[in-house]
Structure formats: structure tokens, C-alpha cells
Structure 1
Amino acid sequence: MSKNPTANQPPVELVASDLMGPGVVACPNPKMTLWSTHPKVYIDVVTAGEGKCPYCSTVYRLKAGEVVHGHH
């Protein structure tokens, strides 16, 4: 049995309105059932189009074609 319940989960797809601050998303996110399993971290998803949580390995990815204003 895996110790990491999110290891085999598909990426979390994001739209621009899901982002906080300068193109980041917080993990754990409010939709997670185990929201308190690790400290809150902010993951940059704008620079590479996706980012991975260093604690739970959840991958957050911008939806294809999504435009984030103020970033190129």
C-alpha cells in the first residue's frame, strides 16, 4: 500500500482564476480530503506550465490554452 495517496492521481488542472499572487497555487488545496497533512506551500505553475508539491507530489497544471495576465 502506498504511503502517498496522491502519487497516482492525475494532475489538478487550473484556470487563471485558480491562481494566487504571482502565478502560484497553494497546496494542500481546499478540495483535498486530507487538507491538513502537510504545511501549506505555494507552487509556481506559470513558469513551466505546471508544478509539483514537494510534500505530497500533487501535480498542478495550467489548462491548455489558459492565459495568465501579466506573464508571458
Structure 2
Amino acid sequence: METVNMSQPEAVVEVTAKDLQGPGVVFCPNPKMTQWSSHPKVYVDLSHSGEGRCPYCGTVYRLKAGEKIAHAH
């Protein structure tokens, strides 16, 4: 995971398929955040649009360009 510096005040984190914790989800806060215990752990769903926002801190998680989400059948 890498944080992308954007002009927006909220953080944007690009994730790869290997960063996913299940079919299309990541958790926030993630272990690489400086304040990883700043709010309860929540799962952010990226499976619909490739992007999701944490309801607590506003961090945006975005699937990196070219990455695919493996869907369970």
C-alpha cells in the first residue's frame, strides 16, 4: 500500500490485489498508518467501483490501475 499525495485534504491510499483482506475489501486503519489505532477497525469495500472511503477518518482506498479483484463464485 502506498499513500498518494493529492491536493485534497483526505489521504488516498492505492492498494494492489495482494493488499486485499478478502474479496474486494481492505481494513482501516491499516498497519502502515502512523496512528494505526486512531479509530475502530472497519472494512472498506472496493469491489463495486474499485474505490471506497473510511467512514471514520475519510481515508480513500483506491485499487491501483491495472489491478483486478478476484471474485468468489
1:35 maps to 2:36: yes
CA-atom RMSD in angstroms: 1.6
Question: 1:1-72 residue pairs with structure 2 within 5 A?
Answer: 8-70=9-71
CA gap 1:10/1:35 in 2 versus in 1, 3 angstroms: closer
Secondary structure of the 1:17 match is helix
Please identify which structure carries the higher strand content. Answer: 2
Segments of structure 2 that go 5 or more residues without pairing to the other structure are 1-7
Deviation at 1:26, TM superposition (A): 0.4
TM-score, normalised with respect to structure 2: 0.80
Larger Rg: 1
Q: Give the total of aligned pairs.
A: 65
Segments of structure 1 that go 5 or more residues without pairing to the other structure are 1-6
In percent, how many aligned pairs have the same letter?
63
